[in-house]
A and B are shown apart, each in its own frame.
Chain A
Amino acid sequence: MRFGYIIKEVSTGLRRNLTLSLAVIITVAVSLSLFGSALLINAQVNTMKDYWFDRVEVSIFLCGNISDSPNCADGAISEEEKGQIRSDLQGMTDIVDTVFYESKEQALARFKDQFKNSPIADTATADQMPESFRVKLVDPTQFAVIEGAFGLRPGVEQVIDQRQTLQKLFDALGGLQKLAQAVAGVMILVTILLISNTMRVAAYNRRRETGIMRLVGASNFTIQLPFLLEAAVAATIGSLVAIGALVVGKIYLIDQTLATSFTFTTFIGWDAIYAIVPVMLGAGVGLAVLAAGLTLRKYLKV
């Protein structure tokens, strides 16, 4: 095996097939970008799940003066009833982790903070805000127990499980994830077909050389290696372009746009990017070499 000969073959091969090499590079770049995006969306959803499910609570909203729910027909909750709910919650130590009472004033402060950019915050008053107990459960799925115990008590307007609200969001995100995966899968299939076809053309273009090589007794490995390296080089370039695209996306789309607009949640960090770099390089080069190898087996037979 002559190293110089192989290098020369690969570079002339890539140049001779410039348009096809470019097509392979671009297809690999696009499909791996999608593949990487799908991985990042996955990581992002998991990050959000960790962040939010750690913070979800069950809220027991209490009747106030302005509550119009039928549960509150008897008017605002009495201090006695409030004390009973609190002590009952604190007694359920096996399912209740912490209990926090939020007064109207605290609710207003939180409301103003959440809507600080909106004119609605300026007009809100403490009396419009409901009092509530914020209950953190040991096991967040045990919502039904709390609802059963307190849902129909006098003075309780409503028991809300934040987890259910969030679940709808994550269901929607899950759909997005699946879509991204499907698109990435189709693109990867396209990439395999294109690489396979490129190798067929390359083998045809060099049939004179490969024919002579076979006759003078060059090994299969020697005959196929330039083609495989050509595919690997093109795939490496494509993978690097895809990684670059994701880094740019992380900086501009996530760090500078999403993260500044949506401060209430967390976004993936650089560790998520570092984690997918080897996966993308491996997938890109592995895919190309595999597709090329299988094609060449057919077209460069002994």
Chain B
Amino acid sequence: MIRFDHVTKLHKGATRPAVEDVTVDIERGEFVFLVGASGSGKSTFLRLLLREDRPTSGTVWVAGKDLNKLANWKVPALRRQIGCVFQDFRLLPNRTVAGNVAFALEVIGTPREEIKEIVANVLDLVGLTGKEDSYPNEISGGEQQRVAIARAFVNRPSILIADEPTGNLDPETSIGIMKLLDRINKIGTTVVMATHDVAIVDQMRKRVIEIENGHIVRDQARGVYGMGA
């Protein structure tokens, strides 16, 4: 599903590559934690996946496509296969819960009559039935993140990327979000989650890829957050 082949990314003006000679394979349907300190290269890794950045050398493969060879105009099609969730939710404050989710469908040209049903289904999946007409500032952080996940997943992407999705949430709410991500993973979605949350990583016992100074220092099935920590 995702394959990095000796990928190095040197940002313009930087003295040291953000990721260096990274080679990793993530299979379809896997759930992977990406751990590492701030500035370790996690964000660059995710940006390379989304083709927001292009590698300085090496090849990134996503969903069978070599991103180096992907034409600019095909990038939107790639991104439709990848859902994204962030620490800061990134909801539109002037749209309702249903409106925020529908927005993702509207802008890719889904017919209006289909949108309503699709949105209702995905809101049911994330457990927000009944909140459709609330605005983001009227609901809790955990609920906002569920809206964001619904928006990322409404198009049924094959990959879901989550960048510190629990970073702004208390532990209890975080568990709810993790259960939701786990459920989305069980439907067959590949989930890549960058996180600092030790408790969650240790509890979930999924594959852990640890990045340090741009290198993969650990890749462990059913791992925990820190080896010796």
Contact = CB atoms under 8 A, between A and B. Distances in A.
A5 B106 contact: yes
Contacts of A223: 107
B112 A215 contact: no
Chain A contact residues, majority secondary structure: helix
Given A302-B72, A302-B75, A216 B108 contact: yes
A172 interface: no
B151 interface: yes
B77 interface: yes
Interface stretch (A92-100, A111-119, A206-214): A206-214
Chain A, interface size category, equals: 10 to 19
Contacts of B80: 216-217
Given A208-B90, A220-B73, A215 B79 contact: yes
B103 interface: yes
A222 interface: yes
A217 B159 CA distance: 13
A220 B84 CA distance: 18
B78 interface: yes
A219 B76 CA distance: 6
A212 B90 contact: yes
A4 B109 CA distance: 11
Interface in B77-115: 77-81, 84, 90, 92, 103-104, 106-109, 112
Contact of A215 (B73, B84, B106): B84
Contacts of B73: 219-220
B107 A222 contact: yes
A120 interface: no
Given A2-B106, A5-B106, A302-B72, A216 B90 contact: no
A1 B109 CA distance: 5
Contacts, number: 56
A2 B115 CA distance: 12
A212 B109 contact: no
Contacts of B109: 1-2, 222
- A211, A218, A220, A222 — most chain B CB neighbours (10 Å): A218
A300 to B, nearest CB: 12
A218 B76 contact: yes
Contacts of A213: 107
Contacts of B72: 302
Nearest to B105: A216
Nearest to B111: A2
B92 A216 contact: no
A221 to B, nearest CB: 9
A220 B92 contact: no
- B50, B108, B152 — most chain A CB neighbours (10 Å): B108
Interface string A66-83: 000000000000000000
A220 B108 CA distance: 11
Contacts of B79: 214-217
B151 A216 contact: yes
A212 B92 contact: yes
Contacts of B155: 216-217
Interface in A194-237: 208-209, 211-220, 222-223
Contacts of B107: 2, 5, 213, 216, 218, 222-223
B140 to A, nearest CB: 21
Contacts of B78: 217
B103 A212 contact: yes
A209 B104 CA distance: 10
Contacts of B112: 2, 4
Interface in B194-218: none
Contacts of A222: 107-109
Nearest to B81: A217
B77 A217 contact: yes
Contact of A217 (B76, B90, B106, B151): B76
A193 B11 CA distance: 31
Nearest to A219: B76
Given A211-B90, A217-B108, A222-B109, 10 more contacts: A2-B109, A214-B79, A216-B80, A216-B107, A216-B155, A217-B77, A217-B155, A220-B73, A222-B107, A223-B107
Interface of B: 50, 72-73, 75-81, 84, 90, 92, 103-104, 106-109, 112, 151-152, 155
Interface of A: 1-2, 4-5, 208-209, 211-220, 222-223, 302
20 contacts: A2-B106, A208-B92, A211-B90, A212-B103, A214-B79, A215-B50, A216-B79, A216-B103, A216-B108, A217-B76, A217-B78, A217-B79, A217-B155, A218-B76, A218-B107, A218-B108, A222-B108, A222-B109, A223-B107, A302-B75
